[in-house]
Structure 1
Amino acid sequence: MDFAYSDEQQMLRDSVLRYGEEHWAAADRLKTLAAGPEMTKRRWAEMAELGWLMLPIAESDGGLGGSAADVMAVMEGVGRHLMAVPYVTSCVLVPALLEGSEAGAELLGEIGAGTAVAAAGFLEADSGYDLRHVTTRTVRHGEGWRLSGAKVHVEDGADADWFVVSARTAGADHESDGIGLFLIDRAAEGLAVDGSRAIDGHRHARLMLDDVAAIPVGDVEAATPVIEAAVDRAIAAQLAEAVGSMEAASEATLDHLRTRHQFGVAIGSFQVLQHRMVDMVVAGEEARSMAYHATLNLGRDPHTRTRAVSAGKVRVAESGVYVGQQAVQLHGGVGFSEELIVSHHLRRQMMLAQAFGNADHHRTRFARLGAGA
C-alpha cells in the first residue's frame, strides 16, 4: 500500500524512537522489567508530559483528537523498543469505549494526564474470542447497577485503576443485543483482581466480580457495535507495534550476520542466510502494508473496517512470529537467551498474535463477513 506519514507524523514517530533509545534501551531491558510497576509508572508519567497519552483521546473529551495514523506513528516506536506500557489498552481502547459518555469524562482526563490507568475486560470462560458471548450478569440496585461474573483475560489489567467491562442486561448468552458497558473502580467492594506477568513483560489480569457496584456507560443494551469498533482500533494500533518490533528484530539480525564470523568470514556472506534475511524483510514489508490498510480503513463502514482489520491481523500475526523465530534461529543458540533482545521481540510477537483474537479467529471473522453474515 502506498502510504507516507505527514511531516508532523514523522516528527512524532522520530520523537518516540528517540525516547525509546534513551529510556527503553535493549541493553537495559532486563533491568527495566526487574524494576517492576514502579519503573513503568515513571515512564508512564514521562509519556504523559510529552502529550502522547492524550493523543488518541477525542478533543470533545479533553484530548488531542489524534488520527489513527498518528497513533500508528507512536506505536511503531513503542514496538521497536518493546515499551512494556499499557498504551493500547488505556489510551486507545478505553477512550474509544468511553468517548462522549458522561460516565467516563473525568476518567478520560486522568488517563490523558497520566494519573490513572484503565483496562477493558470482555473475554469469559468458554467464549473463545467472541465479544458477544457475555455471561456476566447485571442487577439494578436503586439508581445503580451491580455486576457478577468473571473476565478471564484483561490486557494490561494488573495495575489498572479502573476497568471497563461488558455485562449482559438482557437476552441469551450469545446474543448481540442486551450487552452493556460498565465502569468499575479497582477499589470497589466485591472485585478481585488476579494479576500476572506474561512472557513479554506486560502485566495482565483476571477479574472476579461478586455483586460489584458499577457505573453504566451509554446504552446498556446496545454496546456491541461500540465494543467491536473500539477493539478494531486497538488491534490496528497493535499491528503498528508489531511492525516496529519486526523492523528492530530484522535490523538486529542483519547486524549479527555482518559481524559474526565463522571459517574466517562473516556468516552474512553465506547465501542461504542471505535468503532467510531477505524473507524476513519481505515479511516485514508485507505486514507493514497490511497494518496501513487496516489503519486507514478504521473510519469506513463496519463491514469494510472489520474485514480490513481481520485481514491485517492474520497477516501481521503470521509475519511477526515468523520474523521473530528467524531472528532467534539466525543468532544460533544464544538467540534464545534473555540477554539477547531478539528473544524478547519473539515473545512480544507471540503475545500480539493472540491479543484480541488469534489468526484462526480472524480468518473465520473475515470469511463470515465475506459471506454477508
Structure 2
Amino acid sequence: MRVAYICADPGVPVFGTKGSSVHVQEIVRAWHRAGADVTVYCTRAGTDRPADLAGLRVAEIRPQSLSGAAPAGAASAGAAREQAIRAAAVALAEAVVRGGCDVVYERYSLFSPALAMVSGALRVPAVLEVNAPLIEEQQRYRDLSDIGLAERMLATNAAAASVVACVSEPVVQWVQDRVPGARTLLAPNGVNTGRVTPRRPVRLHSGSFTAGFVGTLKPWHGVGYLLQAVAQANIRSAGPTWRAKIIGDGPCRQDLEQTAALLGVEAEFTGAVAPDSVPGLLHECDAAAAPYPAPAPGRDDYFSPLKVYEYLAAGLPVVASGVGQIPSILHHERTGLLVKPADPGAIAAALLRLGSDPALRVRLGTRARAAAVGLYSWDSVLATIRLALASDKKVA
C-alpha cells in the first residue's frame, strides 16, 4: 500500500523537535509498521531527521518568498503569505497525483486544498487528521487575514475525506459544527513505547527529587504553576527538596527562568532537544507534571497531550491538572495524581506525597507504563483510523 502523507503547514517541520513534528514522525512509523510504503509531501522538511527515518522519501515544496511588496490583489502581507501557502499546497497535491498513491493522509492545515485535490483526482481513500481548531487558534494567537479561505479549505477537505480523525471530543464537535456530515472519528494521540522506555522504578539520587516537564514553553502549558509548586513544596517539606527539569523551549523561557530565580527554585532548562533525547532526560526525573491552567469561560480544552502519554511510557508518576482529555487518560491514584488546575498548592501537595512515599512512586509508575503499552500505542491509534477507513472504502 502506498501512502501519501501531506503536511502543508510551514509551522510544522517534519523533522523537528516540536510536539507536532513528533506526531508526524510517529504516524509515519506506524504506517511503516503496518506495511505501508510512505512518501511525505511537505512545505517544511526540517533538519533533525531521526536515524530510523533516514530512508523516508520526502518531497518539500516551500511557499514562495514573501519578501518585498505584497502581490497585486493581496490585501496585506498576511493575505499574501496565506495565498503562498495555499499555492505550495496545490503544488504538493499535484506532485502526489503525478506520483500516485493508494491512500492520502493529510495533517490539517489552514490553507491547503491538497486532500480534496488528491482524493478527487486519484479516487483513493483519504484521511484528514485534525489536531486543533486552527481557525480560532490562528485568530487568537497569531494573525488570520483571509478567514473565508480558511473556512473553505476546511469545508472542502473535511467533506472529501473518507475519515476525519480528531484528537479529542471538542475537536470532533468543532469539525461537525463547521462541516455537518463530515465523517468524524475520535482518535486521541499516543506514544511510541519502543522509543520512550521505562526508567528505573526507584531512581538513585542524592537528597533531592526532580519534577520534569516536556513541551513548548507557552502560557497555556502552565509551567509557572509547577515552579510555584516546587517552591511551596520545599518550604513545607521536612525531608528532601524538589527541583525542576524543564525539557523544551519557547517564548516564555526567559520569564520562567526569572520566575524560578525569584522563587529560589533550582530549575534546569534544557532548551529544545531532539525527540530521541527526551526519554533519557525523563529517566533523570522522579515525577512528571502537566500543570495546565483552567480553561477560559466558555472554552473547552481540546488538546490530546503528547507529554502525558510520554510520561506514562517512561514509567513516571504523573501529576496533572484534571482538565480536558487528561482524566480519561490518567486514572487518579492508579496511573497518576489529578489536581485542580491553576493550583500550585495542590501540585505541591502531590509532590510532597510522592516524595514521602517511594512505594506510591513505584506503584504509579509501574501502572503508568503498563497503560502506555496496553492502551496508548501509535499502532493502536492508526489501527482505529484504518478500521474506520476500511468501513468506508475497503483498504487492505
TM-score interval w.r.t. the shorter chain?
under 0.3
TM-score by length of 1: 0.27
* TM-score, normalised relative to structure 2: 0.26
Greater helix share, structure number: 1
